[in-house]
C-alpha cells in the first residue's frame, strides 16, 4: 500500500507560480514512479509529469514543458511540482499518483492516488 497526501494548491494570477507537494508513505516498490495528473471540469484526467525515484527520465506533457518541474526528495520522502508562468488553462484539480513504473501515461495504470489539490489561475 502507498499513501499520498498533496498540499500547496491555491489561487494565483496568470504568470504566477505555485509549488505542489506530495507526501509519500508505504511500499517503496509500488511508488517507484511518482506522477502528477490534473483534471479540469468536464475534461479527462491527464498526465502532467512523472519521475522515477532516482530522478532520471522525468516526463512532461507538452503543455507544461519549460514551465513545470517535477522533483523528488527521497529522504523525506516527498514529490514536488514547481509550476511557473501559470496560465488560466492550468486551472484544474491536481493529483499525485504512484506506480511501480513510469512506462505508462494512462491514469488507469497508476494504482495509488492522493485526494487532490485545487489550482486556480485567473487572467
Distance CA 70, CA 50 (A): 7
Kindly give the confidence (pLDDT) of every residue in the chain, 123 residues in length, as a single tens digit, with 9 standing for 90 and above. Answer: 999 999 999 999 999 999 999 999 988 877 899 999 999 999 999 999 999 988 877 999 999 999 999 999 988 999 999 999 999 999 999 999 999 999 888 999 999 999 999 999 999
Are the C-beta atoms of residues 6 and 97 closer than 8 Å to each other?
no
Upper half-sphere CA count for residue 5 (Cβ side, 13 Å): 4
Are the C-beta atoms of residues 71 and 80 closer than 8 Å to each other?
yes
Are the C-beta atoms of residues 105 and 37 closer than 8 Å to each other?
no
pLDDT of residue 27: 83
pLDDT of residue 118: 98
> In DSSP terms, which residues pair with 12 in a beta bridge?
121
Amino acid at each position: 500500500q502507498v499513501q499520498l497526501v498533496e498540499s500547496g494548491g491555491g489561487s494565483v494570477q496568470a504568470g504566477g507560480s505555485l509549488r505542489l507537494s506530495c507526501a509519500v508513505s508505504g511500499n517503496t516498490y509500488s511508488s517507484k514512479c511518482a506522477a502528477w495528473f490534473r483534471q479540469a471540469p468536464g475534461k479527462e484526467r491527464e498526465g502532467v509529469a512523472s519521475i522515477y525515484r532516482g530522478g532520471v527520465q522525468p516526463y512532461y506533457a507538452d503543455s507544461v514543458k519549460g514551465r513545470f518541474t517535477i522533483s523528488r526528495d527521497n529522504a523525506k520522502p516527498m514529490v514536488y511540482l514547481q509550476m511557473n508562468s501559470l496560465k488560466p488553462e492550468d486551472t484544474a484539480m491536481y493529483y499525485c499518483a504512484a506506480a511501480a513504473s513510469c512506462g505508462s501515461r494512462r491514469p488507469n495504470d497508476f494504482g495509488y492516488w492522493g485526494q487532490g489539490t485545487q489550482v486556480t489561475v485567473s487572467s
